[in-house]
Amino acid sequence: MTLLVQKYGGSSVANIERIQNVARRIQKYHEKGNKMVVVLSAMSGETDRLIQLAHGLTKRPNPREMDALVSTGEQVSISLLCIALEAMGIKAKSYNGDQARILTDQVHTKARIKNIDTSAMEADLNNGYVVVVAGFQGVTEDGSVTTLGRGGSDTTAVALAARLNATECQIFTDVDGVYTTDPRIEPKARKLDKIAFEEMLELSSLGSKVLQIRSVELAAKNKVPLRVLSSLIEEGEGTLITTEKDIDMEAAIISGVATSKNEAKITVLGVPDQPGIAFNILEQISDANIEVDMIVQNISQDATTDFTFTTNETDFDRALEITEKTAKEMGARKVLGDKDIVKVSLVGLGMRSHAGVASLMFKALANEKINIKMISTSEIKVSVIIDSKYHELAVRTLHDAFKLDE
């Protein structure tokens, strides 16, 4: 008998009508003889509402109490779905993080799963129940509620699929699959039938919001087949995310164009060109728990160097303040900041066996007079930083240059 783990996001359970729609979809799978584990997010907007309530009391609410608060959103949605399923004559049982025995570490608001005891769930599955689990949450060994961070319901679903040895983990969202790029920018974007874990990891890290990156990492590690489907469209096979051996390596050089607008760039001019400079600049940034992405260092003629790095736009002001202080201590000439940038990336397994991807990318951008500020590459990725005003033009240009609509 096939065991499926399905996850439905907040937009899929945003109101009673959509919860009933999810229940009807589950009924179809259940009537085909599938064992069903369903993971739910909170109803759309509910987590934000709860966070705002807490911040209305204090700017820095206690993390333990925040987890106890925001975890209630998923408990509402799982109970409502079980009520809907039972009204249709389907046996269903809800599990919050504690009842599901999803044991985590003690890092509140961004906990990591240590183990899952699925014995109770398996007993219910064998007795014909649809098991409905609250996503995004777990419990410490001493009984404190924890949450897994934003997007954690995807991680819950993949972890359960791995632990239960599910046939497939199906992630239902408001899109019907993974596209070659954002269809809102490029109408000719094409839905992919399959994509490798490694490609999906790159796309997720580079700005694609279809799947949470932790869930993709977990699926790749445990070789759990992931399928992205729409909860709003009845037909379609979605996109299967699977191992590289299941991908036709000759099918396409590039799988997609990803973009990230939440980027900022900081440049330190006139830094003394000596060992330890990069460490000195980035040490304080790291200590402040600010992540750095792309890094470029240039050597000039006067025994100084210019050092540039990018970070998340939300961390820009803090990173700039720290860098200005460090630069002054080092005797650097000047510090420049720029938030008016975007990162555009090409991703594809075919880069491993095809030359000329970067040169074609640079040529296509140059033909449109789009200046490249920074470049970063990996085995299956080429990323560039450009001015934000060229964002959509760059995406459409690269999508056409690599014929991703074909």
Give CATH 3.30.2130.10 domain extents, the chain: 257-401
Give the pLDDT score at 249. Answer: 54
Percent of the chain with pLDDT over 70: 97
Maximum average pLDDT range among 96-105, 166-175, 290-299, 344-353: 96-105
What pLDDT is recorded for position 161? Answer: 97
Using the predicted structure, report yes or no on whether residue 339 has a pLDDT greater than 70.
yes
Domain with CATH 3.40.1160.10 in the chain: 3-174
**8 A C-beta contact, residue 81 and residue 13:** yes
Q: Which whole number is the average pLDDT over 221-240?
A: 87
Q: What is the CATH number of domain 3-174?
A: 3.40.1160.10
**What kind of architecture, by CATH, is found in domain 257-401?**
2-Layer Sandwich (3.30)
Positive/negative CA dihedral, 304, 310, 313, 315: negative
Q: 300 — phi, psi (to 5°)?
A: -105, -175
3-state secondary structure of 287: helix
pLDDT in tens, 184-228: 899 999 999 999 999 898 888 776 667 878 899 999 999 999 999
For the stretch 301-336, pLDDT in tens is: 678 889 999 999 989 999 999 999 999 998 888 999
Is the Cβ–Cβ distance between 9 and 41 less than 8 Å?
Answer: yes
Read off the pLDDT band of 246 (50, 70, 90).
Answer: low
Q: How far apart are the first and last CA of the chain?
A: 38
pLDDT in tens, 63-90: 999 999 999 999 999 999 999 999 999 9
pTM over 0.85: no
Q: Quick one: angle between helices 16-31 and 72-87, nearest 10?
A: 60
Mean of pLDDT over the chain: 91
